[in-house]
Amino acid sequence: MEGDSLPRGFLSSLARKHHVHRSTTTRWFKVIKQHMLEGNAVDVRTKKIGTVGRKQKEYSDEFLTSVPLYKRQTERGYAAALHVSKSAIHRLRKRETRTFYLFPAEDNPYRAQQSKRFKIKGMFMGMIGKPLYDANKQLLHDGKYGLFPFVKYEEAKKKSKNRDKVTIEAKAVHSINKEAIRDMLLNHVLPTIHEQWPPQLPKDITIQWYNARPHQIPQDAEFQEACQAYGFNIQFVFQPAQSPDMNVLDLGLFNVIQSLQYQSFPQNLDDLIKEVEIAFKGFDPELNKYSWITLQSCMVEVLRRKGGNNYKIPHMKKRSLDRQGVLPELLQVDKELIAEVVSY
């Protein structure tokens, strides 16, 4: 009736019912009132002719199942494989899944495994440096020097359905003692530095590594000579104790390798090594650059906590700053903070 008001919340509930904005219902009620005042028939049909609005994109089952199952473990990985946005995959998700995105017509993945003792495992030694750019921001060296597996190669002692008896196969070295570390450094790490080190950089090199018990610095003459060969001066220092964020490998490379490697199902150690090598080669130099800046920000947080590790890794929006051309290569530290820490 004229003069009556609508119940409180009526327009909002009507908008939710018809999946439109509240302002749309308000606008149409004004049109209805105007028609009633003029004594005309109420006409709420749209004035737009034909099909209007953005055409809704449809994804067929054939398209959604066109990528391998191992690339559907995360929304981001699934979207990248389909070359669509992550939000599109999120909207399409109809039910909860733990690991894979499956469709009703697909069977759950089945992998038989006798015991955790039979998982394919291997240990690697990785070597990362800061990426090197020229004055025009062109990449000269990506900072990736090598990722070396601890393996030994032996002849197969028995014949199986997968290989002959005399086939040379890789075996993981599970006992990583100081002899294994020395062999890795002497035969892989140091020769790689000699070969790949950018000639425009000084040859005084400091290698920080994890201070596990087997990570002892060899003191024999052969190793010391290798550290000083070809004009190099290579020194070793340990990662600070109880400081997990002081390892640049953990801040970038290892996380990327683990996430990419988990998208594959290696059947043997050779397959595992191959997948890890692919992930290492695909490690983005920009992410490597950001990892070194993150390391500096963690160092600043350690100063602020008076040497403690009770902090969260800072988020600096590095990618956004990099696009704007204002991402610093070296972070500045307040003199007052340094004086305060020294006094402490």
Is the separation of the CB atoms in 107 and 253 below 8 Å?
Answer: no
Dist CA 121 CA 296 (whole Å): 32
Q: Report the pLDDT value the prediction gives residue 163, as an integer from 0 to 100.
A: 66
pLDDT digits (tens, 9 = 90+) for 128-162: 999 998 888 889 999 999 999 998 887 777 777 66
Tens of pLDDT, residue by residue over 180-229, are 899 999 999 999 999 999 999 999 999 998 877 777 888 899 999 999 99
Helix, coil or strand: residue 21: coil
pTM, full prediction: 0.60
Q: Is the dihedral of CA 104, 106, 107, 111 positive or negative?
A: negative
Do 258 and 296 belong to one domain?
yes
Task: Provide the Cα torsion 332, 338, 339, 344; round to 10°.
Answer: 160
Please give the pLDDT value at position 56: 65
Give the per-residue pLDDT at 316: 87
Residue 271's pLDDT is what?
84
| Amino acid at the residue 201 | L
Joined tokens for residue 72: 């559907």
Residue 303 and residue 249 share a domain: yes
> Which residue is it, tokens 């002849």?
155
Contact 202, 229 (CB under 8 A): no
Domain range spanning residue 93? 57-110
* Residue written as token pair 């909860």: 96
CA distance 103 to 57: 19
Residue 279 lies in a domain: yes
Q: Hey, CA dihedral for 338, 243, 124, 212, is it positive or negative?
A: positive
Strands 204-209, 233-238: parallel, antiparallel or unpaired by DSSP?
Answer: parallel
- Give the Cα separation of 183 and 218 in Å (integer): 10
Residues 246 and 328 in one domain: yes
At 265-275, the pLDDT tens digits run 677 888 888 88
Last residue of one domain, picked from the residues 79, 94, 110: 110
Domain closes at, from 69, 92, 110:
110
pLDDT at 57: 72
The amino acid that residue 140 corresponds to is L
List of the chain residues with pLDDT < 70:
1-5, 43-56, 93-119, 161-166, 259-265
Choose the final residue of a domain: 110, 129, 152. 110
Residue 170 lies in a domain: no
User: 30 and 88, same structural domain?
Assistant: no
* Domains of the chain: total: 3
Averaged pLDDT score across all residues of the chain = 81
Residue 96: per-residue pLDDT: 44
In this prediction, residue 1 carries a pLDDT of 40
69 within domain boundaries: yes
Q: Which amino acid is at 51?
A: T
User: For 70, which DSSP code?
Assistant: G
